[in-house]
Amino acid sequence: MTPEFLVAIVFAIVLVATPILLAGLGELVVEKAGVLNLGVEGMMLIGAVTGFAVTSLSGSPYLGVLAAAVAGALVSMIFAVLTLTLSANQVATGLALTIFGGGFSALAGKAFLGKTVVAFTQLFPTELATHPIWRVIFGYSPLVYFSLFMCAAIAWFLRRTRAGLILRAVGENDLSAHSIGYSVIGVRYMAVAFGGAMAGVAGSMFSLVLTPIWAEGLTAGRGWIALALVVFSAWKPFRLLLGAYIFGAVMTLEVHAKAAGGVFSALPSEFWAALPYLATIIVLVVISLRRSSSGAPACLGRPFIPPA
């Protein structure tokens, strides 16, 4: 196995893991505030089609990513109004948002089926970005570096800032936070909007970087993997980073296993395609059996009704 081949594998793992990491980081902040939004997949699809459409019309992938973030945040407000203001069931509303996102993206993307867009250019000089070895560090899309920056920024925000402490307090004990004057609903609205924006950016990664051509269902269920990783990481950003790369390795294994032949080719291709989702189920089962390692915010999924 040559160094160039190892670099190619690592490069592929990072690219595949990045949209899961972006969506997972957004959902982590949402859940830290005590809100469970299962609509990540739907918001990713809406971000994907919005980013693709804006990039196709403007020729700028940066505008496409910005539009995807705005679209994800706006769609998340539907969820926020229903669950935070009207106290609707968060699980049912999140599932409805996923269904809505799938249908809306399919309808809005009809005009762009089969079209391609201008992909992101690398941040670093071509000599480094395309080098057989150094591209493992310098050859990525700007969204990859953005995901790493956001991982560190969110970890710092939650642990080192007063605003992060307030957000965690709202997720752990909403009544106490309300009693000392914090707006529980306001904090949760901002957290949901941030999570929606991150899911939108994650969706744009699919349509602008991984496969810069529009097709229905482009995210292929990755939003559900992001949701599982938040639990897997015990709501810690750097554990989420590790988990995203592990799942990225599992998904990359699917491609390389088919090409490797030998014992790998003896298994049907459907097995390798299903492997990431089987791993997701296994992770959730293991975590559910280890009750002491939960670490979930105490108010997660529980509606807040201000006392009279």
Residues 223, 51: Cα–Cα separation, whole Å: 17
Q: Of 245, 272, 3, nearest to 131 (Cα)?
A: 3
pLDDT of residue 75: 97
161-194 confidence digits (pLDDT tens)? 999 999 999 999 999 999 999 999 999 999 999 9
Comparing 11 with 288, which gets the higher pLDDT? 11
Averaged pLDDT for residues 288-295: 59
Q: What percent of the chain has pLDDT over 70?
A: 91
Residues 233, 182: Cα–Cα separation, whole Å: 28
Residues 250, 241: Cα–Cα separation, whole Å: 14
235-254 confidence digits (pLDDT tens)? 999 999 999 998 888 888 76
Comparing 221 with 280, which gets the higher pLDDT? 221
The helix/strand count (H/E) of the chain reads as: 14, 0
Residue written as tokens 């203001």?
Answer: 85
Most confident of 97-111, 208-222, 244-258: 97-111
pLDDT of residue 91: 94
Residue written as tokens 């309808």?
Answer: 107
Mean pLDDT of the chain: 88
Residues 6, 46: Cα–Cα separation, whole Å: 34
User: Does position 286 have pLDDT exceeding 80, yes or no?
Assistant: no
Domain boundaries, the chain: 3-223
Averaged pLDDT for residues 96-111: 94
Ranges of H-type helices in 81-173: 90-108, 126-129, 135-138, 142-160, 162-172
Angle of CA points 38, 40, 45, to nearest 5°: 140
CA 115 to chain centre: 24
pLDDT of residue 275: 74
| E-strand stretches of the chain | none
Averaged pLDDT for residues 12-26: 95
The amino acid present at 128, given as its one-letter code, is L
Question: Band of the pLDDT at 267, cuts 50, 70, 90?
Answer: low
User: Does position 104 have pLDDT exceeding 90, yes or no?
Assistant: yes
Averaged pLDDT for residues 281-292: 65
Is the sign of the CA dihedral 62, 66, 68, 69 positive or negative?
Answer: positive
Ranges of H-type helices in 173-236: 174-179, 184-205, 222-232
Residues 98, 270: Cα–Cα separation, whole Å: 24
121-147 confidence digits (pLDDT tens)? 778 877 777 777 888 888 899 999 999
Residues 52, 206: Cα–Cα separation, whole Å: 9
User: Does position 289 have pLDDT exceeding 70, yes or no?
Assistant: no
Residues 97, 94: Cα–Cα separation, whole Å: 5
pTM above 0.85, yes or no: yes
User: Does position 256 have pLDDT exceeding 90, yes or no?
Assistant: no
Locate 5 and state its tokens: 């081949």
pLDDT of residue 287: 62
pLDDT of residue 285: 73
pLDDT of residue 70: 98
| Other beta carbons within 10 Å of 234 | 14
